[in-house]
Copies of this chain bind each other. A is one copy, B any other.
Amino acid sequence: MASSTSPAAKIIDGKAIAQEIRNEIAKEVQSLSQSHNKVPGLAVVIVGSRKDSQTYVSTKRKACAEVGIRSFDIDLAEDVSESDVIARVHELNADPDVHGILVQLPLPKHINEERVLSEISIEKDVDGFHPLNIGKLAMKGREPLFSPCTPKGCLELLSRSGITIKGKNAVVVGRSNIVGLPVSLLLLKADATVTIVHSHTRDTDRIIREADIIIAAAGQAHMIKGDWIKPGAAVIDVGTNAVDDPSRKSGYRLVGDVDFQEASKVAGWLTPVPGGVGPMTVAMLLKNTLDGAKKKIVQ
């Protein structure tokens, strides 16, 4: 009885929204090309031949091609020296046709990631991970040149679903540099009341139950149960966890940090995994590259 009266959550179709954004970007790239005879350029640097990294990089390069962004492919051998990687980054910093630089992580162990990333020009840091960009993201009255892609994608999913953020109680689960921390800062800038919970939090479920907006980025399969969710809350699930599934050929399937079946009966809005936040990350990378190019080309 109870379940029949509770309305089902609206499923936020990240794939469709990302496609919509990619279409908008493609139009802007075309008009930039017509008016200034220039297109945005994204350099994607990959070191070695990790299968997962190869897949991510190929997705990003294909996405560039689709919207008309020129992709610069820098494929370096597994045993390349750190100084050679840095030298390539410097070349890309100096190249006026490159508006964004992305170094696919992780790098092989003999290379210091922090050192390599800090060599990327702040004006081409389309990943938005430079501490100067994070600092400006955190500070009132300052604006970063680029916001990190996945957090930006989460806010875009909310706004394109008609969910207002201002004055809402938002709970972010996880505090990674890549998602949890920057998404908290973005939500705070959008005037939400923000709580960040993490592995040392004592009463996670009680805190989550007060949230109008939940951003789940803990990396724990099905951690967030249906009865942790306030009826009508908006739930953005950033988790991508592989769980065993003998019924699949691969032997596994991907699930989020939220128990989707349970949550879909309680939440007001909910993103699926896969097909929720994932496609938005690439779309925001394209958007950041376009924005970086516009700053240089349109003056």
Interface residues of A (CB under 8 A from B): 130-142, 166-167, 169, 175-177, 181, 185, 188, 191-198, 200-203, 207
Given contacts A140-B181, A167-B202, A175-B140, A193 and B193 within 8 Å (CB-CB):
no
> Contact between B196 and A193 (Cβ–Cβ < 8 Å)?
yes
Q: How far is the CB of A171 from chain B (nearest CB, A)?
A: 9
The 3 closest A-B pairs by CB, nearest first: A135-B135, A131-B135, A134-B135
Contact among B176, B188, B195, B207 for A175, CB-based, below 8 A:
B188
Q: How far is the CA of A135 from the CA of B194 in the complex (A)?
A: 18
For A132, the closest partner residue in chain B by CB is B132
Q: How far is the CA of A139 from the CA of B188 in the complex (A)?
A: 16
Chain B neighbourhood of A207, CB < 8 A: 193
> Contact between A181 and B138 (Cβ–Cβ < 8 Å)?
yes
Given contacts A138-B134, A139-B134, A175-B140, A196 and B198 within 8 Å (CB-CB):
no
> Contact between A136 and B135 (Cβ–Cβ < 8 Å)?
yes
Some 9 contacts from A to B, beta carbons below 8 A apart, are A130-B135, A131-B138, A134-B138, A135-B138, A139-B177, A140-B177, A193-B195, A193-B200, A193-B207
> Contact between A191 and B200 (Cβ–Cβ < 8 Å)?
yes
Q: How far is the CB of A144 from chain B (nearest CB, A)?
A: 9
For A195, the closest partner residue in chain B by CB is B195
Chain B neighbourhood of A142, CB < 8 A: 131
Q: How far is the CA of A277 from the CA of B123 in the complex (A)?
A: 39
Contact among B131, B136, B169 for A139, CB-based, below 8 A:
B131
Q: How far is the CA of A207 from the CA of B134 in the complex (A)?
A: 27
> Contact between A193 and B202 (Cβ–Cβ < 8 Å)?
yes
> Contact between B201 and A197 (Cβ–Cβ < 8 Å)?
no
Q: How far is the CB of A82 from chain B (nearest CB, A)?
A: 19
Contact among B135, B201, B203 for A132, CB-based, below 8 A:
B135
Q: How far is the CA of A22 from the CA of B182 in the complex (A)?
A: 36
